[in-house]
Structure formats: C-alpha cells, structure tokens
Structure 1
C-alpha cells in the first residue's frame, strides 16, 4: 500500500506513537477501545500485537476493494509465521502487490508487542507490569519476527541483484536457520528446540 492510496482520517487526532499514527493512516476506528477491551479480557501483549496488525492488513485490503480469499488471520500468519515456507510467503506478497497493497510498506507498518506495551502504558495509562518478565511465548514470537524480517531482507537483496548485469536468478526461497550454542557446556540446538526444552543443561548440572 503506497502513501498515495493510504486512507486519511478526519476527526479527533490520534496520539503520536506508532500505533496512533498507523491507526490514523489506515482509518482504523477506536483502536484504543479495542486494545483496552481485549487487555481487560486478559489478552497478552503478543496477542494484542496480532490484533493491531490484522486490523492494519484488513484495512489495507478494504481500501483496495479486494475480496479476501479466506481469513485475514491466515494471510497475516503466512506473512509473519517463521514456519511458513519462503515460497508460500513469496506468493502471498506477490498477491498483495497485484491487488494494490505494497507488502514492504505494509510490513513496515506492522507493530511489535513492545510497541503495544509502550502504547498501553504511555498513551492509555494501562498497567502492563504483569508481563514485565519475558515469557517463552514472547521470546518465540520475537525470534520468529526477527527471522522472518531477516529472510525478507536477504530475499529482496538477492532479487535486486537479478537486475544486475551478469547476475541471474529464478524464484528465490530464503531460509534462515538459527542455532543457540552454550559456551559453558558446549551444547548446540536449533533455537526452537532450545526454547522447548527450557535452555541447556547448565542450570541442572549444579543441582
């Protein structure tokens, strides 16, 4: 979605943080009320991140008059889930481009759960202390977001090289494999396994 066809909103100005600016840009009504309600229902910061970003995606598609083939949730998951194959993600981004939504601009407007926390605390005066300690779920989400972002940067860089004389490529799939190694016990795991098992055995070795 380019700057030229993003929605302008009239009425009361939003706050100046990224969520306020994004809601105003995409014409998302009462995002603050939605966040307050969902938080009061017990939604985590990670879940609220998804709520905001799905609202952004939905608004971007509605602005182009696009009929969504399925649930917006499925499209969002394809764009952000680290387990989605690079080929499927590429197809989804290409579809977004065809219907008039710039995937780079769209993903740049997605917010993180840290941004949600700041908005709740500083703009809405909502207490977020109950999630001041990072959970495994939050860690998984942050790592998957970083990996997806990294894969996207590498893919776009390689695709740009295809425009260079003497360099040619077909459809590019990029997979970023992350491993965690402990310098104390020497163990090494894929990051998913490391998180699932609760770290390495260093902590248990002294017990």
Structure 2
C-alpha cells in the first residue's frame, strides 16, 4: 500500500478536520489503528470518537484553557451522548462558549464513522482484508459499510452537481446514511452496527 498518510487529504471531511486542527500525528496513526497492526484493531466508531475528542481538546487548548486529563472526553460525552439530558447538554455548551469556543462550528467539525471509513478506504487507500478466520458479523458489517460508503459518494456527487448547475439551493453539507433494523417480533429497533455488536435483538434474550 502506498504511503498516503504523509499529509491529510483535505478534499475529504476527515482529512480537512485533521488538517485544520493540526492533528497530523493522529492522521498518520489512523490506518494502523483501524487495521490493528500495532495491537488490537480499533472500530470505526471508536476512531470517529477519538478524532472528535482530539478536535474538542484542541479547540479547548486554542481557547486558552488547559483541559485536565479526561476533561475533553467528558465534555464530548455530555455534548453527544443520547443518555445526557437536554439541560446537562446545554450547561456543557454554555461552559464551552464562555471559554470562547464556537460550539456550533465545533460540532459541525465532528466526523461520523461513515466519514472515517470513506476516508480510510477512498482517501488513504486502506483495505481491511477478510479471511475465513474473520468473525462473520465483522465481515458482513464491513461489506455493508462499503455499500453505504458508495451510496454516500453517489449522493454527494449528485447533490454537488445539482447545486453547481443551479437546480438546487444548498450550502456546505454532510451526507449521512443511517441504517436501522426493526424487529417486528420483539418491537425493538437498533442501529445496524449496534445490532451486530450485541449479537441480536431482544428476541434471543426472551428465549433464554
């Protein structure tokens, strides 16, 4: 594989964010972290969280604050975790804004695991080989992720062409394809990745 990690590819959102926040070391580590060449492989979702936390930490440092150990991680959780109440989330936003951080801009710079996958595979040319020893769930998730990334690419190209031709009024945008699975038997709904990680829906737990 060619060394495409020398500098971020800023025509992709992940590369642009890593460049703007001077996260060059993290950029260089991304392929190894995903492939697990230096240890346990890191999931796409964990990679996205790691990038976003690094972005938040850098924003705090640029604003003149010196975040304590774990402070950026906790601030990120309070901004993004679904289990956090609206009141607590607002308090965290206010704390960051009082420190001089543009929270709206900060959150628009956060990346998704889809964007990370697209950047690794299309931007950096990283491929994750699957073998017969690969876990079946992981293998199928990788296959679905590739299809989703291609869907995102087609949507982005089409929207950009329509905008440039004057057929569509649209500012800067990110394209998100959210895959969810609804089980009619136990009436539960999951993000695809969550369903695969937990090994099934509530039906299995009810039968045991």
Whether the TM-score (by the shorter chain) exceeds 0.5 is: yes
Give the 5 Å matches for 1:147-186. Answer: 182=184, 185=185
* Selected match of 2:140 from 123, 133, 138: 133
Query: Is residue 27 of structure 1 aligned with residue 39 of structure 2?
Result: no
1:154 equivalent in structure 2: none
1:155 equivalent in structure 2: none
Please list every run of 5 or more consecutive structure 1 residues that lacks an aligned counterpart in the other structure. 1-11, 139-179
Query: Is residue 18 of structure 1 aligned with residue 13 of structure 2?
Result: yes
Q: In the alignment, is the contact (CA less than 8 A) between 2:48 and 2:113 conserved in 1?
A: yes
2 CA distance for matches of 1:65 and 1:97? Answer: 12
- The aligned length equals 148
Normalised TM-score (structure 2): 0.59
TM-superposed CA distance for 1:108, in Å, is 0.8
1 CA distance for matches of 2:20 and 2:28? Answer: 17
Greater CA deviation, 124-133 or 28-37? 124-133
Q: Which runs of 4+ in 1 moved over 2 A?
A: 29-32, 67-70, 128-135, 187-192, 194-202
After superposition, the C-alpha distances for 1:89-118 in whole angstroms (9 at most, x for unaligned) are 111011111111111111111000111111
1 CA distance for matches of 2:199 and 2:25? Answer: 41
Normalised TM-score (structure 1): 0.59
TM-superposed CA distance for 1:44, in Å, is 1.0
Q: In the alignment, is the contact (CA less than 8 A) between 1:19 and 1:116 conserved in 2?
A: yes
2 CA distance for matches of 1:98 and 1:86? Answer: 18
Please list every run of 5 or more consecutive structure 2 residues that lacks an aligned counterpart in the other structure. 1-5, 131-137, 146-181
RMSD across aligned positions (CA): 3.4
Give the 5 Å matches for 1:84-95. Answer: 84-95=84-95
Higher relative contact order (CA 8 A, sep 6+): 1
Q: In the alignment, is the contact (CA less than 8 A) between 1:52 and 1:111 conserved in 2?
A: yes
